[in-house]
Amino acid sequence: MSLRLAFGLSEEFWGIEVRDSTTTVRFGRIGSPGQTVTSSHANETEARTSAERLIAEKRKRGYVDAPRMAGPRRRPAFGTGPIALFPARIVESERRADEERRRRAEENSGELATAGADARLRHITVHERVPLPENRFRSVVSASGALGVPENIGVLGATLTTLSLHAPSSFPESLGRLGKLSRLSIRGPSHEMLVVPDVIARLTSLERLEIAGYDRAAMPAALDRAARLSSIDFERTSLASGKDLTAVAQAPALVELRCTPHGQDVSALVSAPKLRRLSLGRVGTDPRLPRGLGKLEQLEVLSLEHAVDGAALVACASSLPSLRSLQFQSDGDLPDTFDSLRSIESLGVGTETAELPKSLRDLRNVERFSFHGPLAAIGPWLAAWERLTELRLEGPAKRPPRTVLPAAVFTLARCKRLTIARHRLAPLDDMLGAWRWLESLTLDTLALESFSPSLAELGLRELRLLGMKAAGTKTALRMWGRMQALETLVIGAPVAPEVSELRGFESLGSLTLDLSRLKLGYELASVMASIAKLPKLRHLTLTMPDHAGISGELASLHGLETLSLTNFDPYKTHVLRRILCNVAVR
């Protein structure tokens, strides 16, 4: 004798089983193992009588028979609120579909997944020990490999455009047959050296090469054959010798380069006539500029990812006639000679000095300005930058002191994008009226004494709350739903617990939420329910808490075009399938 009951439309279940003279009762929430209570009786008849009495009591309390095919009900997509059991006919159809998929998988055992033959398949994962079948992946445009690539990777040459490799042990010769490959990414362990093979130079369509994570990299000498290679990025990877930079400079179409040169000498880049954007790193703490930097007269964008001698850099930059963008961190005081850089359109400066030089007033062409340092260093000269459209103010990494925004910030009539990061600010209420020009506001790792709901009166189109701590945040978020023009909203993990609902944000077209710190249950359920009520939402990005799924209510977002999920519970895909059947996600 065995019987399973469920309490109406709730998540509670109760079941009993009789074996000989023993009764076993299991109860709890559907989807969980539940609790078990075992009782012994004198004989089987007495055990059955006891079971029937317990069943009658449960039925009086409202318990009903649970469909057997439903089994233990799958956990809800989120929360612990009331849910309905699947009707038996739906469960039966799902069971038959699972059996059909299992049968097809058995028929194709020993081969690659049948999805490989699907004309819509765009991405595959490869392994060096698994050869690729001929004429099977005719639509694949991107591939990734965690342990290298197979010897016959060349069979994808007709369609493959992007290849990402992690710590490959070898590079087969057939790699040179990837005639349409335009982007190659190679990532590896930090303690190893990568020797880039000559076959890379035979990729005639290669436009971007990314090498990241290695200690050093040695480049082939024949890069002059890579006719379309325009961008090379050595992220956290140093060049093994000066010959490698010479080889890189031979790429005839090289426009963008990010590297850490060996010996801090970049003179070899003079032979790269098309080089326009250069980003340099450095090993060690030497603040001197790389040798030969002043000879690169073709540069338009220069970024130094380490602290350098500010005076020497400004003098060097003034000798580069085409320079339009300069980013650097000063090792000491800045010289008052910025008037020699009148052609600069984008400037990024990092310094710990108490005051920036007044000669910055003469840079009337600056459209984008990024400052890493104390806000008190910004003087009234900022108001003279009438063309400024984007401003980023970032505080020091250590705990910043309490400060206020410079008055000049509120006079920038053309500035549309403002980012404030790592600062402790006083209330902004007194000057909010001057921010009518603002379209995009980003607050990152910010501490405010209070958060005024009056920000809702601004005509923002984009709001990014990546990290902040302030009194009144929950009330402010509730009031900001009145922003009629707001199209993009990004909320980071430190702020998400304050988001109880998104009522009023009907104009949102793009929403990004980091919900990883939310508790499973009512908090997550209320946020999901409010997302489902955003009628114009087209792009949704969610970072979920551990062991959490998504709500089936999202199926009401019929205009959704892109859906991105991070930390999604793979055991709750049944809800995701239901959503994808109702929305036009690409």
- Cα gap 252→46, rounded to integer Å: 91
> What separation in angstroms does the CA of 218 have from each of 99, 201, 232, 243, 406?
53, 13, 13, 9, 48
- Cα gap 305→481, rounded to integer Å: 39
At 8 the pLDDT is 45
- pLDDT tens, residue by residue, 497-535: 777 777 778 889 999 999 888 877 767 888 888 888 888
Mean pLDDT of 315-323: 92
CA-based max dimension of the chain: 101
- pLDDT tens, residue by residue, 152-166: 898 888 899 999 998
Q: Which residue has the tokens 């923002």?
A: 460
Q: How many CA atoms lie within 13 A of 532 on its CB side?
A: 15
Containing H/E element for 350?
Answer: strand 346-350
The residue ranking higher by pLDDT, 112 or 41, is: 41
> What separation in angstroms does the CA of 83 have from each of 7, 12, 75, 384, 504?
11, 10, 9, 61, 27
- Cα gap 513→563, rounded to integer Å: 12
- Cα gap 226→433, rounded to integer Å: 55
Nearest to 328 by CA among 350, 345, 343: 350
> What separation in angstroms does the CA of 389 have from each of 309, 421, 522?
28, 18, 42
Q: How confident is the model at residue 79 (pLDDT cuts 50, 70, 90)?
A: very low
Q: Which CATH class is domain 2-73?
A: mainly beta
Lowest mean pLDDT among 9-18, 161-170, 321-330: 9-18
The residue ranking higher by pLDDT, 337 or 582, is: 337
What average pLDDT does the chain have? 80
- pLDDT tens, residue by residue, 208-261: 999 999 999 999 988 888 999 999 999 889 998 889 999 999 999 999 999 988
Q: Which residue has the tokens 């007044």?
A: 358
- pLDDT tens, residue by residue, 45-60: 888 888 888 888 887 7
- Where are any strands of DSSP class E within 508-573? 510-514, 539-543, 562-566
Q: How confident is the model at residue 105 (pLDDT cuts 50, 70, 90)?
A: very low
Indicate the pairing of strand 402-403 with strand 562-566.
unpaired
Mean pLDDT of 85-92: 44
- Cα gap 511→242, rounded to integer Å: 47
Q: How confident is the model at residue 471 (pLDDT cuts 50, 70, 90)?
A: low
At 89 the pLDDT is 44
Backbone angle region of 55, left / alpha / beta, with phi > 0 → left and psi within -120 to 50 → alpha: alpha
Judged on CB neighbours under 10 Å (0-12, 13-18, 19+), 321 is: exposed
Mean pLDDT of 72-77: 39
At 247 the pLDDT is 92
